[in-house]
Amino acid sequence: MDYAGLFRLDGKVALVIGGGSGIGQAAARALAAHGAHVAVADVRPESAAETVALITKAGGHAEARSVDVTREDDVRRLFDDVAARHASLDVAVTTPGINVRKPILDYTAEELERVLAVNLKGTFYVLREAGRWMAEQGRGSIIAFASIRAQTVEPGQGVYAATKAGIVLLCRTLAAELGPRGVRVNAVAPGVVETPLTSQIKSHPEWYRAYAERSALGRWASADEMAGPVVFLASEAASFVTGSLLFADGGWTAVDGRFTPPL
């Protein structure tokens, strides 16, 4: 066993969707730093290009792609584009997510559809396309981002939580279906992370401070702190890990952080 090389991804091809910013960008840069060639896809092509520039500046290899995960045909086109340039796909990471923080009774049908379209439907399209490719080649690692809200509730996050719980069960089901084909599928559950998605909270000092205090570590995470779980699940270090939900929440769920936000 080459223990020193367990986390290396030399010669591997990785696709990171949502790689233009936040957790997706950190994941893309970390995968490249460990030797993978990374296809960085984002709904904002210019953001994907910025991530690619950061990777190449650090000596890595990457290419930029655009994708709108709410459009089934667009997701399929993305995988076709990657397949046209690469014979295999070893790692697929999907991070896009949105949140409309509102009590359920105040949710509109349009808001419901928007959150479902990005978080649940979009993740499903990615899981399906990555799963088809990897099942055919007989190997691969798929990583989807869920949230602590997949298992813990908070006023104003019912729809978001439902989509994240759905992502976990999609991953577990796909892991069961594709395990015999050599494909691993896992989900990551971050706690509170400094990303554009949490900008609403940062504008409320009391809310921001309360979230920090409700984790065991007493602080928020940076997006870079989500890179380690991605590299682990992508690599041979996790060769016997599938169907799992990996918490990277600073101990939030361990100490049962509970807060009612100022909605």
Predicted pLDDT at 259: 65
Q: Average pLDDT of 140-157?
A: 94
The strand ranges marked E within 95-210 are: 140-145, 183-190, 193-194
pLDDT over threshold 90, residue 206:
no
- Rounded Cα distance between 6 and 243, Å, is 20
Q: Say whether 199 sits in a helix, a strand or coil.
A: helix
Would you call 107 a catalytic residue per the annotation? no
Q: Residues 6 or more apart from 160 whose CB is under 8 A from it? A: 97, 99, 100, 101, 115, 119, 147, 149
- Rounded Cα distance between 176 and 166, Å, is 15
Question: When comparing pLDDT for 125 and 152, which is higher?
Answer: 125
Helix (H) or strand (E) holding 252: helix 252-255
Helix (H) or strand (E) holding 164: helix 158-178
pLDDT over threshold 90, residue 209:
no
Q: Where are the domains of the chain?
A: 3-248
Q: pTM of the full predicted structure?
A: 0.94
Which of the residues 3, 160, 208, 211 is marked catalytic?
Answer: 160
Query: Among residues 159, 134, 262, 153, which one has the least CA distance to residue 206?
Result: 262
Cβ atoms of 35 and 61 closer than 8 Å: no
Q: Average pLDDT of 243-260?
A: 86
User: What percentage of the chain has pLDDT greater than the value 90?
Assistant: 83
Cβ atoms of 6 and 235 closer than 8 Å: yes
Q: What is the largest CA-CA distance in the chain?
A: 56
Predicted pLDDT at 51: 98
Question: When comparing pLDDT for 247 and 1, which is higher?
Answer: 247
Fold of 3-248: Rossmann fold (3.40.50)
99-141 pLDDT, tens digit per residue, is 999 999 999 999 999 999 999 999 999 999 999 999 999 999 9
- Rounded Cα distance between 149 and 165, Å, is 7
- Average pLDDT over all residues of the chain: 94
Query: Among residues 95, 120, 122, which one has the least CA distance to residue 29?
Result: 95
For residue 43, give the DSSP letter.
Answer: S
pLDDT over threshold 70, residue 260:
no
